[in-house]
Amino acid sequence: MKALVKPAPGPGLELLDVPDPTPGPGDVVLRVLRTGICGTDLHIDAWDDWAANTVKAPLVLGHEFVGEVVEVGAAVTKVSVGDLVSGEGHLVCGRCRNCRAGRRHLCANTVGLGVHTIGAFAEYAVLPEGNAWVHRHQVDLDVAAIFDPFGNAVHTALQFPVLGEDVLITGAGPIGLMAVAVAKHAGARHVVVTDVSEPRLELARKIGATVALDVSANRIAAVYDELTMTEGFDVGMEMSGQPSALREMISNMTHGGRIAMLGLPAREIAVDFSAVVLKMITIKGVYGREMFETWYAMSVLLQAGLDLSPVITHRFHHTDHAEAFATARGGDCGKVILDWES
């Protein structure tokens, strides 16, 4: 089969012939239909310091995907040939304290599909049955391919109640954009999203942001009068990993405000913790998705009319992967999809 591979340490990817996957007793094999390009994939492609210290080449990339089940292992009981499946890319141990308590998203031994083990940028992929989310309702294939990052957005956006609240989201990348849609759908009064990319801010407006603010030219506090706000934001969602974004968020939170932090900083962030203490702000780190409560919420949100289509801006055939990765890296886009059908 064809697969998109990091063949050796160093920048670049190649579309190569690799062996077809063989399922274990508890595995399912998918014919991959669509995949989404993640920021993690961009790091591996570029072979930055994080990738060099994390990934062992050769490796098939990819952890955002949807496919049709074509084969199941002998011990598989809940997934059938023909099922449409999105994959949970965090492979957990099942033995640690958190796994045994049903908190699998907190497993300290998590292995990342397409990062630590063979991924899904390929014509076929193998997945443990327990990581397969079977779609029981109609779903667009492009949207099904991005259930992984959609889950990050849902996990973050619903970390704290947002009904009737004023919400600040820093970072209008694909996950930030999806968080805008979720927060509005969940009843937030105002959702303000910040970025420095006008194309992404325009996408935020299309998906329902009350205000999409270019913070290279404006301060966040400038929106207070327009939105008749007096005391700051109730809920913050930090999606950018930028030190200035977190500092600005803290300074614009109301007393007792709550921040869900998903963005991964590339370096240490200096924070005014006196403001955190005096304003009694809660900051909670968020990683991945709750398995599988978040997945249930995602499916229900889509059935209830949540529209993610504006987030998906570019589609490429997998043979055009170089152009697809260049588009995703350029940043003036939403989600980029690779099509693996013939």
Q: Is 291 part of any domain? A: no
Q: Select from 3, 31, 33, 35 the least CA-distant residue to 17.
A: 3
The boundaries of the domain holding residue 56 are 2-146+308-339
Q: Is 209 part of any domain? A: yes
Is residue 3 within 8 A of residue 21, CB to CB? The reply is: no
Clarify whether residues 161 and 141 are in a common domain: no
Q: What phi and psi, each to the nearest 5 degrees, are found at residue 106?
A: -105, 10
Clarify whether residues 157 and 140 are in a common domain: no
Q: Is 233 part of any domain? A: yes
- Which CATH number characterizes residue 14's domain? 3.90.180.10
Clarify whether residues 118 and 190 are in a common domain: no
Give CA angle at 181 (178, 182), nearest 5°.
Answer: 90
Does pLDDT of 111 surpass 90?
Answer: yes
pLDDT at 120: 98
pLDDT at 342: 75
Does pLDDT of 336 surpass 80?
Answer: yes
pLDDT at 149: 97
Clarify whether residues 8 and 136 are in a common domain: yes
Clarify whether residues 142 and 215 are in a common domain: no
Clarify whether residues 116 and 186 are in a common domain: no
Clarify whether residues 111 and 157 are in a common domain: no
Question: CB-based contacts of 241: which residues, under 8 Å, 6+ apart?
Answer: 171, 263, 264, 265, 266
Q: Is 163 marked as a binding-site residue?
A: no
pLDDT band with cut points at 50, 70 and 90 for residue 278 = very high
Q: Is 263 marked as a binding-site residue?
A: yes
Q: Is 93 marked as a binding-site residue?
A: yes
Q: Is 200 marked as a binding-site residue?
A: yes
> Average pLDDT in the 212-226 region?
95
pLDDT band with cut points at 50, 70 and 90 for residue 266 = confident
pLDDT band with cut points at 50, 70 and 90 for residue 97 = very high
Clarify whether residues 22 and 142 are in a common domain: yes
Number of domains composing the chain:
2
Q: What phi and psi, each to the nearest 5 degrees, are found at residue 326?
A: -65, -40
Q: Is 262 marked as a binding-site residue?
A: yes
Q: Is 333 marked as a binding-site residue?
A: no
> Average pLDDT in the 265-292 region?
94
Q: Is 115 part of any domain? A: yes
Is 210 one of the annotated active-site residues of the chain? Answer: no
Q: What is the pLDDT of residues 146-198, one digit of tens each?
A: 999 999 999 999 999 999 999 999 999 999 999 999 999 999 999 999 999 99
Residue from 43, 135, 185, 314 carrying the catalytic annotation: 43
Is 43 one of the annotated active-site residues of the chain? Answer: yes
- Which CATH number characterizes residue 261's domain? 3.40.50.720
Q: Is 177 marked as a binding-site residue?
A: no
Q: What is the pLDDT of residues 113-151, one digit of tens each?
A: 999 999 999 999 999 999 999 999 999 999 999 999 999
Both tokens of residue 154? Answer: 């849902």
Going 194 to 198 to 203 to 207, the CA torsion angle's sign is positive
Q: Is 62 part of any domain? A: yes
Q: Is 299 part of any domain? A: no
Does pLDDT of 331 surpass 90?
Answer: no
Does pLDDT of 267 surpass 90?
Answer: no
Q: What is the pTM of this model?
A: 0.95
pLDDT at 255: 98
Does pLDDT of 212 surpass 80?
Answer: yes
Going 318 to 323 to 325 to 328, the CA torsion angle's sign is negative
Residue from 22, 35, 40, 294 carrying the catalytic annotation: 40
Clarify whether residues 124 and 238 are in a common domain: no
Looking up tokens 């907190």 gives: 106
> Average pLDDT in the 62-90 region?
98
